[in-house]
Amino acid sequence: MRVLLVEDQVSLLKALRQGLEEEGFAVDTAADGEEADAKAHNTEYDVIVLDIMLPKVDGLTLLKRWRESGMATHVLMLTARGTTDDKVAGLDSGADDYLTKPFELDELLARIRALIRRRHHVKTPVLKSHDLTIDTAARHVERSGQRLHLTPREYALLEFLAFHKGKVVTRTMIWEHLYDEYDENTSNVVDVYIRYLRNKVDKGFDPPLILTKWGEGYLLRSDESLERAKAGG
């Protein structure tokens, strides 16, 4: 999933970006409010992590502008100010969650994952399709009770397909949500990773769950489509 990280402390920005990338997130960064505003309007992010104290345009002002313009992206606010008034101001400005510095990376990751589930209207951290189980909290994948070992990029792709289970996702959608502004790969890398994923998720199992819709994109089968296929057979 693609995250915009807005933070003016260079050392913290680098550390958070590294931590998020190690968990498989695609991460764009901005060090001031103007840069964040431009990127937020030009890219559809899954979550924006926004510091309140920023040069040029502060986080609260920026968030109010975004909400007034109709931007619905989930925003997690970061601040060194932990008073109730500050939290209320952030939430009233349109923040979806609030985290006070200093914080542990694991808590930030958990909150980001929760916002992503909320974006996709998913209540539980465990996603299922037939005999495939994806624990988005533990980043643990099993099929027919057998653990599947995926790379961070493979996991991110499978999770994206699972959040859109039963619906076609285009190569462009995958590219825009799983690759950041620093990635030098070309868009055909999506097909390569689909192949890698099939070798782990579908090879040796039946039925195949990752399907190609020629000229459209890819989808992860829903349980309903599997039942229809059985009925038709």
Q: For position 185, what pLDDT does the model report? A: 67
**Contact criterion met (CB below 8 Å) for 116 and 110:** no
Separation in Å, CA 155 to CA 112, 166, 178: 16, 18, 10
Of 98, 119, 140, the last residue of a domain is 119
pLDDT for the residue numbered 82: 67
pLDDT in tens, 95-129: 999 998 889 999 999 999 999 999 888 888 999 99
User: What pLDDT is recorded for position 194?
Assistant: 94
Q: For position 41, what pLDDT does the model report?
A: 93
User: Which of 92, 119, 146 is the C-terminal boundary of a domain?
Assistant: 119
Q: Are 150 and 83 members of one domain?
A: no
Same structural domain for residues 44 and 140? no
Q: What pLDDT, in 10s, does the model give residues 51-107?
A: 998 999 999 999 999 999 999 999 999 987 767 777 788 888 889 999 988 899 999
Instruction: State the pLDDT at residue 178.
Output: 86
Kindly tell me if the per-residue pLDDT of 17 is higher than 70: yes
Which residue range(s) make up the domain with 224? 126-232
Average per-residue pLDDT for the chain = 90
Any idea what the CATH number is for the domain that residue 30 is in? Answer: 3.40.50.2300
Q: Show Cβ contacts of residue 229 under 8 Å, excluding neighbours closer than 6 positions.
A: 207
Domain CATH for 228: 1.10.10.10
Report field, pTM of the whole predicted structure over 0.95: no
The predicted pLDDT at position 86 comes to 75
Q: Cα dist. 109→16, 40, 51, 80, 121 in Å?
A: 10, 20, 16, 18, 18
Residues 105, 12 share a domain: yes
